[in-house]
Amino acid sequence: MKATIAVLPGDGIGPEVVEQAVGILKAVADRFHHQWEFQYAPVGAAAIDLTGNPLPAPTLATAKASDAVLFGAIGDPRFADPSHKVRPEQAILGLRRELSLYANLRPVTTYAAVYDASPLRQELIEGVDIMVVRELTGGIYFGAKTRTATHATDECSYSSPEIERIAHLGARLALSRRGKLTSVDKANVLETSRLWRQVVDEVLARHYPQVKLEHMYVDAAAMHLLRRPADFDVVITENMFGDILTDEASMLPGSLGLCPSAALGDGALGLYEPIHGSAPDIAGRGIANPYGTILSAAMLLRHSLKLETEAAAIESAVNSALNAGVRTADLKPRGTPATSAEAGKAVLNAL
């Protein structure tokens, strides 16, 4: 199979973890006889330094012309002040908008070899396998905003079509998994949540009657993610709720460094990245955890290139590396922490 993969390493530890993921993708291409071209482009603070723009036109063009985008991380302490008119984070928002990526898939899987890295007791996290689908382009983050010296507003707005496409995606995923869908809202308070619940009910009743649907308020979901996380299968929710809940859920495996993600739209093109940030405090030291980025590469193969066998091979190799005791510092190793390169090599050897 021939494919073009846009590689946007970004800032901080982004280039370090992306380097390991690209190495794994090249190994998979060799093993399974594929031909993949990697097109690199700057993004985030690195692009601001080069061009003054966090998402330069050539970078966007590279992403649009590709079959999939592998993304590292963005963020730089120089731009920490939210009042900056130009900020690295504008790049990821621009990519989602320009590539029409409206659904964020965040799988949360626990690994037996590193149960002890989680802040939760082992009996709570055994067998956790959750797929969270977060609506990515609507809600309070994108609504109208006002600000005076003493008053501010942020509008939360959703339309039926925006909710329908998330409901369809979540239900299809549930059918391919354990058949259970949990829709998270705040319908006892918010009109947008009441519309969300109504539309989800209609879509599931009309198209997916075999899927077991459960509605849950967001505060209850936050509690049950810690109390009984193994009960969840697929979770769908709006933008802000999904942002918060997935960061909470990322602690179930023990580290942000184990969590991949995919941003998808209606076509095959998607953007794949670890959910962690740029971690400038450890950048350049070669100690960042690359597993989340490598697992994001597996999602890239599964969702954009439709290569399930290759994706599963990467996921199995990551599990093997963890079983072999190859832990970076964030995974609370019993001995000397593995470097980013050592973790990547362990996955490569397992392949």
Listing DSSP states for 77-98 in one string gives GGG-STT-SS-TTHHHHHHHHH
Q: So what's the pLDDT on residue 82?
A: 78
Q: Does the pLDDT value for residue 71 go beyond 90?
A: yes
Distance CA 277, CA 256 (A): 9
Q: Provide the pLDDT for residue 76.
A: 94
**SS3 of residue 36 by DSSP:** strand
- The two counts, helices (H) then strands (E), for the chain are 12, 12
Burial category of 151 from C-beta neighbours within 10 Å (exposed 0-12, middle 13-18, buried 19 and up) = exposed
| Cβ neighbours of residue 214 closer than 8 Å, sequence gap 6 or more | 180, 181, 182, 183
For 89-121, letters b (16+ CB in 10 Å) and e give: bbbbbbbbeebebbbbbbbbbbbebbbebbebe
229 near 249, Cβ under 8 Å? yes
Give me the catalytic one of 30, 49, 116, 219. 219
Given 102, 158, 186, 233, the catalytic residue? 186
pLDDT digits (tens, 9 = 90+) for 128-171: 999 999 999 999 998 999 999 999 999 999 999 999 999 999 99
The CATH architecture annotation of domain 129-251 reads 3-Layer(aba) Sandwich (3.40)
Helix residue ranges per DSSP H, the chain: 14-32, 45-51, 57-64, 90-98, 122-125, 160-175, 191-207, 218-227, 239-249, 291-303, 308-323, 340-350
Q: Is 219 a catalytic residue?
A: yes
102 catalytic? Reply is: no
Q: Indicate the fold that domain 1-101+259-351 takes in CATH.
A: Isopropylmalate Dehydrogenase (3.40.718)
Q: Which one-letter amino acid corresponds to residue 271?
A: L
Which amino acid, 131? M
**Tell me, what's the pLDDT at 334?**
87
pLDDT digits (tens, 9 = 90+) for 6-58: 999 999 999 999 999 999 999 999 999 999 999 999 999 999 999 999 999 99
Average predicted confidence (pLDDT) for the chain: 96
141 is catalytic: yes
Closest CA relative to residue 264, chosen from 176, 134, 157: 134
Which two tokens mark 44? 């985030």
d(CA 272, CA 274): 7
Q: Does 281 qualify as catalytic in the annotation?
A: no
Secondary structure element (H or E) that encloses residue 68, with its range: strand 68-73
296-334 pLDDT per residue, tens: 999 999 999 999 999 999 999 999 999 999 999 999 998
Please say whether the beta carbons of 287 and 83 come within 8 A: no
Check pLDDT > 90 for residue 83: no
DSSP state letter for 337: P
Active-site option among 145, 247, 266, 306: 247
pTM of the model: 0.95
Catalytic residue, candidates 26, 40, 115, 141: 141
Q: Which of 129, 154, 201, 243 is catalytic?
A: 243
75 closest CA partner among 287, 351, 285, 276: 276
Our answer to whether residue 217 is catalytic in this structure is no
Q: What are the structural domain ranges in the chain?
A: 1-101+259-351, 129-251
